[in-house]
Each structure stands twice: as C-alpha cells, then as structure tokens.
Structure 1
C-alpha cells in the first residue's frame, strides 16, 4: 500500500461495477470537495499496460473531474488481482455508500461468491465427508467465516449480513430488477422471497414500469381470511352446547358488547365460553 498523487487522465473506471454512478451523489461530493477538499483518498491499482483503475472512490473521482481538478490523492495497492480489487470495491460500498436493501443484498452475494472462490468452496465440499463423522460441517464453517470476515471488514452486524445473503439466495436475478423501485425495501424483499417466482413476476414487472406496488399487500390479499383462533375454538364449543347454554352465552356477549370495547369484550366472553364448556362433558343435541 502506497500513497500517490496521480493525474486524473491516467485513471480509468472499470466498466463492470456493482454500483453505477449516482449523479446526485457526484454533485453532493463535488460541493463538499470544493469546500473541504478530498477527505478520503481514492484507491487504485495498476491497469494492464499503462495507467490505473479506480477500485474504491469512483464517485470521488467523478466529482474531481466535475471540479476540473488535474490531480487526486490515491492509495495504490500493488499486488492486487481482480478478486481482491472487487472485494475492496464491495467493502468500500458496504461501509460508505447509502445502498438500498436490494443493492446491499447484491453486494453481499457477490462478496460471498468471491470469498468462497478465494478460500475454497471446493475444499469445504471435499472436507464434508471427513468432517461428517466428527459432526462438523465444513460448508457451514466457511459460511460462518465469510460472515465474520465481512462483519470485520465493513462494520455490518452478523445478523444483517446473513439476512442480506438469504435475500440474495432467495431472489437471485430479481434483486437487480427491483432495485430503485417501490419494491426496494426490506419488508417488500422478504415478502417477494416467500412467493414462487411465477407469483412475484407480474408484481416485479409492474414495479419496473414505475407503478407503486407492494408485495406485502399482494401477499395478504392472496391469502384466505383467517378466523381468530379464540373465536374459532369458541364456535366449536358452541356447537356442542344445549340451546339454553348458547342463549346464556349470547346474553353475556350482548351485555359486554359496548362500542368502544366490543372486540375485547367478545374475546373475554369467548374465553368464558371455553372455560364453561371445558369444565363439563360435551353434550350433543339433534337439530
């Protein structure tokens, strides 16, 4: 690692990046850098041939160009391959960028793939046979190591990383489709993950078209209505009562049913009904 001051014309941005430049973010950074200068150097690596690639700080680089700076302070990583550069970019975004829930899940998923490629998913699979007899799980150990490494590098919680990894696994390519739409919220992603791909496809298409949709609402609307468990139990018990007993309970319900507390009163009466019925043998009458 080495600090350098490089000319902007010698620094390029790789075409494949997880996070596209946000014009609003570049403008805000340009204003800040105009007042306060560059607070955090960008990170670069050597480009094949000549020049450099930016690893972390593409928005700062774009802001510097907007301000027509000639040079910029950089941190140069010498022995940096493609995987190491991608990890640095992902960690920078997870630490600094205001990522949406969908973007965060995609970043964690990509980091997991690179981490497993470096640290040996194949080795973990091969070790499973040996570890099975000892009650160990090499794949699970690798997943735990990834979670800890990501938490240490980015400052995210273990729980947050596991949640983002699970969302990415469940939604796959649909994450990219919902990014920036009305479905790009944590609760919406979780609701989509509980749907089958063919069920969520039309909702995602509407969101992509700019419609304000909600997977949470769609899921609720599709589910059959559920009777309150207490009421359901009360109805079963009522079917076992005599006519006189039912009339007694109905009288209690009417007496308790005040406008401001009707629901609570009904539940109390239902509980009373169940206590009464459970204290005696069931009686069946013909109708």
Structure 2
C-alpha cells in the first residue's frame, strides 16, 4: 500500500549497509530535480517505520529537507525484510567484493532457512547424479544460486563464487580489508584457502605493507616496487555481469526524461533505429 509517511518516523535497519556518500549525492541531485521516482519500501516497527528497501533514497530525501516521503508499506517478518534489503544491495553495481561476498553468503543462509525442503528431498530423483554424502548440500546450494541469479541478474556460477568467499573468509578479516586496496575478488580468493588464523595474519601483514608503501610515497620516498600478477581475463559470464551492472547503474542514475527517451528508443522497430 502506497502512503505518504513522515520522514522523522522512518529509520534504517541496524544491519543496513553503510551509506555510500557518492550514491546519496547522486540521488540528492536526481530527486531534487525530478522528485522521488521509486517509493521506498517500509514495514511497521512498533509505532515507527523500518526501511526494507531504499535507505539511500531516504537519506537523500532527509538531506533535501523533505518532511514526508512516498513509501510502499508492506507486511514482512524479520527474515523476509532482511532478504528484501539484501536483494536490493546485491543489485547495486558499486558494492565492493567483500560486501558482495558477505551479503551473498547471508542470503544463502536465509534462503536455506526459509526453504529447508530444497535440501530434504534430494535422495530420490537427484541421488543418481550426485555424491550421496553431499546431495542435500549441493541441491540446496544450486537452488539458492538459481534464485539469487534470477533476483540479481547474475549467473549461478558467479553467485556461488561470491557466496563461497563470504562463507570462508571470516568476519574479522572482512572488516579489516573492507574499503582498502586489498578489497578485491582476487585477494578474497587467496584468503579463503587459508585457516582463520592465517587469514588474520595475512590480512594484517598485507595491510601493514600497503600502508608503509603509501607512507613512503607521501613522504616523497620511493616505495619498494611490487610486481603484481595481472588478473585473469574476464569469462563470458563475468563480462555479461559487469555490463549488466553498468546498465543498471546508469538507469538508476538517470532522470525521468532520459529514461523516457531510452524507452522510446528501445521500443523503436529495428529497421527504423537509424531514424531514432
């Protein structure tokens, strides 16, 4: 149900993603020019309201000094509300590799908790195609990956890759590297092969080295040269995911006039595109 709600009665979840200032600044410009195109989504929380999806839009409206905001009021339990928040996060292009890993792993845990039946009925039809000891786990992961891929526009394989990083790299290490130069998929893949203690030791060592390099550069010194092995070329699936994310990001940043022009363009018959 769409309603106009007082902004001062709406609050973000305690586990909401840290506000990205660049995203909020872009939304301030867009909302200030064309208004709020997509209502935020909220649920009742005591005598207040809790954001289920759209806390960046809420932050932008607060900075614009708006008193009320358009919201889609839904009924959702804690798990469904958290799942909706995670899905919105995973659709964003600017998520860092560590954040994407954490949110994907958490989505997997929620999905399996909400749908335990996906792991309960494997032994029959699927047993012949899977190792018996891992049948339930494999089936539940595959179902989770397919569902997440459909919700976020990624491939099953990419979803499983992000989930594995989030499950195997411990929270302490994620918090250490988040937002640093070590926050890359390549580095997470190296860490996930280590024991928890070795992960912490490696992250602290590599962070200290990176900071020393920056200190030397800031002081006009010559930092010790580090030979970096180039990342592997993108697979077709990874390239598609990156292109899709770029399109979603561009659409989210566009104003309504630009979106309407784009709709008119893609609705133009192929043979007439040259005249568009």
Out of 49, 55, 60, the residue aligned to residue 57 of structure 2 is: 60
> Out of 43, 46, 53, which is 1:45 matched to?
43
Gaps of 5+ in 1: 221-287
Change (3 A) 1:147 1:4: same
CA contact (8 A) 2:145 2:156 kept: yes
Pairing partner for 1:118 from 103, 107, 114: 114
Deviation of 1:209 after TM superposition, in Å, equals: 5.7
Q: CA deviation at 1:56?
A: 0.8
Other-structure match for 2:189: 190
Q: Which residue of 2 aligns with 1:81?
A: 77
SS in 2 for 1:211: helix
1:72 and 2:69 equivalent?
A: yes
After TM superposition, the score normalised by the length of structure 2 is: 0.68
What secondary structure is seen at the aligned counterpart in 2 of 1:39?
coil
1:133-183 Cα distance to aligned partner (Å, 9 max, x none) = 655523211111101110111111212101101112221322233211111
Name the CA shift for 1:133/1:45 in 2 (closer, same or farther; >3 Å).
closer
Highest CA radius of gyration, 1 or 2?
Answer: 1
Give 5+ residue unaligned stretches, structure 2.
Answer: 214-225, 230-276
Could you tell me which residue of structure 2 aligns to residue 25 of structure 1? 23
For 1:153, the equivalent position in structure 2 comes to 151
CA distance in 1, matches of 2:227, 2:115: 41
Question: In 1, distance between residues paired with 2:57 and 2:92?
Answer: 12
Residues 183 and 213 in structure 1, CA contact (< 8 A), matched pair in contact too: no
Contact 1:181 1:210 in 2 (8 A): no
Distance 2:82 2:15 in 1: 10
- State the alpha-carbon separation in 2 of the partners of residues 218 and 190 from structure 1: 19
Q: Which of 165, 171, 182 matches 2:169?
A: 171
Deviations 1:83-107 (A, max 9, x none): 0001100100111351001100001
Greater RCO structure (CA 8 Å; 6+ sep): 2
Distance in 2 of aligned mates of 1:77 and 1:97: 26
**More divergent stretch after superposition (6-15 vs 102-111):** 6-15
Aligned length: 212
Which residue pairs with 2:203 in the alignment?
204
Aligned mates of 2:11, 2:201 — CA distance in 1: 39
Distance 1:212 1:25 in 2: 27
Instruction: Determine if contact 2:170/2:196 at 8 Å carries over to the other structure.
Output: no
The more displaced of 82-91 and 134-143 is 134-143
Q: 1:131 offset after TM fit, Å?
A: 7.0
TM superposition shift of 1:55: 0.8
Range with greater deviation from structure 2 (67-76 or 187-196): 187-196
Q: Deviations over 1:207-266 (max 9, x none)?
A: 55693599xx7999xxxxxxxxxxxxxxxxxxxxxxxxxxxxxxxxxxxxxxxxxxxxxx
Q: Distance in 2 between matches of 1:51 and 1:209?
A: 44
Q: 1:248 aligns to what?
A: none
